Structure 1
């Protein structure tokens, strides 16, 4: 996925890749005029998982560059050749959600948003035009945070998680997997903040193993992505 172009307003190439994956898995999904992808598995799932399709920094490079994605076996890092960011923000989140759909039977809704890096236009459009999608959802988990082990419960000075016992449980699960799980705040804003604001649904974001986002030195750690996938499996097992 990191080799595919996907910047705000131009997510079609990555969107097609994700659609092909969903179709191959026979997963029901739909899209809208903003190119958001959404769907669900199971009967009336209560949990919604979110990641964004667009990345930041490649839109100014154009087509006439030689871009390469490299996996370094010694460090376990996925990285580029310094031409542009690899878009691990937020392809790591997308990869985890697709893996959950492919390798588990957990029930959940999913929402792949567009234009997150452009004033969150995708999720804003989706909220206004598909409010029925959030009916019955009582927990939103964003897979969109740098580093490893963070559970982000506050964005821009505003809490988005209204169930402290839920966060305590998530952290305990992480620590049981030897993940350095900890509650964090972010001065920035993620897509889930808009969902929490509009519908009052308790939400949080997990780190997904990418570093130096929005820079040409961006990289992802494969082992941390896998560990976060395992974390999500345990979380979903608890909330089914």
Structure 2
């Protein structure tokens, strides 16, 4: 059962001067990972979606669409007049980035902010520079039934580079265990099946990509692919960074995001 408690937002969200950002977090993560970035962007109104206890991929996808429609339209009814007059940006990290692309394809976004994102997570052996082989994701799903703590811990180990771990960036990650097992499986199933590549050119809103060159989860090649396919994309490359290029760099990211968005508004 999906209720309003699954969506962290005001009944009639107010827009700040720069607009609203809907935040979609990565696999197994609570959206508190965005807290510091949001604090540094007080000129935006911030909304988030909690899909940490979704029972299925369909419910997870539905939660994101409900959130967007509740922001944009009266009573969530897309057939009615848009009630938010400021722009809506959708910010997504990893799995959240894939969900954000999906919403943009449906025409819901005025802008996208994507961290460590990809248009297709699972790839063939020949495309190992773009993503993971499907067998690895299937092994994670099977492993969750045996020892979910171990599966999550091993995945998190891949988020940062060795240098980032040594710099204690790992302390910025929330504790393991915030998602239900069913939600973890649902998220992995979306990563296995969701395919946004064929429709990327239909996303005509501005897109701000932030990607680490040493990302071991969504390889940097995925960012280059997005840049080549999205009509209005800008890429901020973070050298020697892994899969969470915004953590530990929140000040830089907030400044770059704001500068990029103001440039879009001036065009």
TM-score by length of 1: 0.39
TM-score by length of 2: 0.36
**Structure in which a larger fraction of residues adopt strand:** 1
**Structure in which a larger fraction of residues adopt helix:** 2
